[in-house]
Amino acid sequence: MHIIDRRRDASGKSLGNRQRFIRRARALVRHAVREASKDRKITDTGRGGEVTVPADGVREPSLRRSAKGGIREYLLPGNKNYIEGDSIERPPSGGGAGGASADGGGEDEFRFVLSDDEFIDLFLEDLELPDLAKRQVMGEEKTQPRRAGYRSSGPPSQLSVPRTMRNSLSRRIALRRPKPDEIAALEDRIRELEDAGADEDEILSLRAELERQGLRARAIPFIDPVDVRYRRYESVPKPVAQAVMFCLMDVSGSMDEHLKDLAKRFYTLLYLFLSRRYRYVEVVFIRHTHEAKEVDEDTFFNSRETGGTVVSTALEEMISVLADRFPANAWNIYAAQASDGDNLPIDNERTVALLKNVILPLCQYYAYIEVGREPEERRRGGEPPSTLWRAYELIQSPQIPMAMRKVRDRRDIYPVFRELFERKINSASTGAR
């Protein structure tokens, strides 16, 4: 009997069907994903997971007998006490004493698990960083070799002589291989003694010594295969187009936990979006109080600071980072700022000037998110626009690649995010560098 081993065959035969299903239920699934991501922790957003869609949308109807009404018979096993003619109280759910439809007539929700990629794909669907489209970051990947240390095998052309010699030298020293001039000195000495007609014994012992040294020099090679080193290269993806995203956030005392949380969510979403959708995007995190500092991602989201609020410091820090590492002719520059709108009033002028004269001309796009408090807290009288909002409003115009939005609740984040980065926006900004 020949038994076929199918285990090596490609699995995923159902992939086509699965994709068809998700496409079919796309609108429903997208909605479900949006709902699901609202209640998730930030760090979980990038993972796949279970979603629930109303079964009605993916129903497969058939002509079947209704589960209600009529005369029905049920044949049940395990009778203990019933005798013919007994009556049993009707179970509350309608249906019979156990014969309720097994074909799932009553189900109203359909639950299933999306993979990470499917989840994030739907999550980010039709979102796009403005202007990056023209560089087609998602296009073909090129790699270029980059030096990455040494290795012990490789093509002769990559032989690293200095490194090989260094290894050889240390080995020779460690094994006390006689140096050529030591041997030469020994030979000279013998010749000298012979010429002087000195004591035979001494000459003999020196000859023996010479012999031994010569043997040692032959036994310990000058270059051993273990010494040889070659240059190692790694191929790294060569950015076709690169973008840098600046995340600026006010972490001063006026930003309470709720507001920080809102801002955090916005950035998480943003970061997630960038790191998933665009491969070659650098992200710079700058937090500020009355002074600004570039930090890593973890610190950005998790550490606490106290102090006043001077927005211009963050902008200055951003400008210095730009000048340092991201020349405007090589990078597409995007920035997103989150704040509660507080700023030292005298700083407004400087902030606006920096933004208008230095940053906006460099940026492809600048987004300002103003996080606000829950409605109950801010009910007292008309809620005047914040200092920063008023200042920023002055420079708003369709020609300027800048958008501003207010966010009150974490439910608002997703729609705002969407709106900010909707594809159509890019008509406002100017051409590629």
Q: Which residues bind another protein (CB under 8 A)?
A: 1-7, 9, 11-14, 16-25, 50, 58-80, 82-90, 96-99, 102, 105, 110-113
Beta carbon nearer to another protein, 25 or 367: 25
- Cβ of residue 38: shortest distance to another protein, in angstroms? 21
Q: Dihedrals φ, ψ of 235, to 5°?
A: -90, 125
- Cβ of residue 99: shortest distance to another protein, in angstroms? 7
**What are the distances in angstroms from CA 357 to CA 244, 314, 349?**
19, 15, 12
Q: Tell me, what amino acid is at 293?
A: K
111, with CB counted inside 10 A (0-12, 13-18, 19+), is: exposed
- Strand ranges in 299-363 using DSSP code E only, listed in sequence order: 332-339
- Cβ of residue 91: shortest distance to another protein, in angstroms? 8
Structure tokens that stand for 122 in this block: 């739907």
SS3 (DSSP) at 119: helix
- Cβ of residue 11: shortest distance to another protein, in angstroms? 4
Closest CA to 260 of 168, 339, 326: 339
Closest CA to 362 of 276, 244, 198: 244
Beta carbon nearer to another protein, 76 or 148: 76
Beta carbon nearer to another protein, 103 or 195: 103
DSSP one-letter code for 44: G
- The H-or-E segment that residue 110 falls in is strand 109-114
- Cβ of residue 45: shortest distance to another protein, in angstroms? 20
Beta carbon nearer to another protein, 47 or 72: 72
Beta carbon nearer to another protein, 44 or 374: 44
Beta carbon nearer to another protein, 24 or 134: 24
- Cβ of residue 56: shortest distance to another protein, in angstroms? 9
SS3 (DSSP) at 303: coil
Closest CA to 163 of 151, 155, 175: 151
Beta carbon nearer to another protein, 89 or 181: 89
How do strand 109-114 and strand 332-339 relate by DSSP bridges? unpaired
Instruction: Count CA within 13 A, CB hemisphere, residue 373.
Output: 12
- Cβ of residue 284: shortest distance to another protein, in angstroms? 39
- Cβ of residue 112: shortest distance to another protein, in angstroms? 4
Point out which residues pair with 281 in neighbouring strands: 243
Beta carbon nearer to another protein, 16 or 155: 16
Structure tokens that stand for 183 in this block: 């041997």
